[in-house]
Structure 1
Amino acid sequence: MSQNVTAVTQELVEPILEQMNLELVDVEYKKEGKNWFLRVFIDKPGGVDIEECGQVSEQLSEKLDETDPIEGAYFLEVSSPGAERPLKTQADFNKYVGEHIYVKLYEPMDGEKEFEGTLVSFEDETATIEIRIKARKKQLQVPFNKIAKANLAVTFN
């Protein structure tokens, strides 16, 4: 059910975002406690503001009311993905080369399943991530299909 809801929502929101020159980052449909939440994360270079989130929410809400893909009550939230935005697609990885990222793998590599470092490159469906082990730097070649979850990571210098 939640797969269908996210797919329908994505279909409905794409034209709205295209018209406003915004990018769809992610759609989630989750139950938290007793309530269901439909969350739409949007972005653009320099970030989105509350007005843009409000406009998208209003237009998407109308479309959802028309098509009515969700049974029962839910809360619609439209927001920015924040500083630690998820990297979901290969295009995301290409876009954020040079950035500090966090990656969680499906299975261990070098005895570890989680890494944080700089995304050096993304070529041939492989992310090259430079990690630091004590004082040494090491580059890992991580195939895209081995990545369970990835997002930008905030660093404090």
Structure 2
Amino acid sequence: MSNHVTSVTERLVQPILEEMNLELVDIEFKNEGQNWYLRVFIDKEGGVDIEECGQVSEQLSEKLDEEDPIEMPYFLEVASPGAERPLKTEADFHKFVGEYVYMKLYEPIDGEKEFEGTLKSFEDSTAIVEIRIKTRKKQLEIPYQKIAKANLAVTFN
């Protein structure tokens, strides 16, 4: 159900975003309490503003009403991914080299499955992440296919 909704939403929202020079970051369809939420996260260089989110929401809402892929009542939210934007594709990893990231892996590297550090490079489907262990820095090679989840992280120095 959720996959069907997100794939239909992606197909409907993509042309709207292309026309506005915006990028699709993520789509989620989830139940929270008694309500269902369809959330579409969009971005562009320099970030998106509330007006752009409103325009996308309005146009997408019309398309969803026409096609009506969701049986139950739901709330549509179009938003910026914020400071902890998810990294979903290899292109995202290329784009955010130099940024501080959080990664959760499918299988451990050096006995750990979660890392935070600076994304130093992304070549040949491998992320090089510089992590800090107490006072020393270490670079890890993390194959893309081992990454279960990744997002930009906020760091406090």
Q: Normalization by structure 2: what TM-score? A: 0.99
- Cα distance in 2 for partners of 1:72, 1:138 equals 49
Instruction: Please list the CA deviations of residues 34-58 of structure 1 after superposition, one character each: whole Å capped at 9, or x if unmatched.
Output: 1110000000111111000000000
Match of 2:21 in 1: 21
What is the percentage of aligned positions where both structures have the same residue? Answer: 79
Instruction: Please list the CA deviations of residues 55-113 of structure 1 after superposition, one character each: whole Å capped at 9, or x if unmatched.
Output: 00000000000000111100000000001100000000000001100000111111111
Q: Within 5 Å, which residues of 2 pair with 1:34-49? A: 34-49=34-49
- Opposite residue 146 of structure 1, the aligned amino acid is K
Match of 1:120 in 2: 120
Q: Which runs of 5+ in 2 are unaligned?
A: none
Q: Within 5 Å, which residues of 2 pair with 1:5-84? A: 5-84=5-84
SS in 1 for 2:154: coil
Aligned length: 157
- Cα distance in 1 for partners of 2:133, 2:33 equals 40
Segments of 4+ moved more than 4 angstroms: none
Q: Normalization by structure 1: what TM-score? A: 0.99
Match of 2:141 in 1: 141
SS in 2 for 1:139: strand
SS in 1 for 2:18: helix
Q: Tell me whether 1:3 sits opposite 2:6 in the alignment.
A: no
Instruction: Please list the CA deviations of residues 7-43 of structure 1 after superposition, one character each: whole Å capped at 9, or x if unmatched.
Output: 0000000000011111000000001111110000000
Match of 1:154 in 2: 154
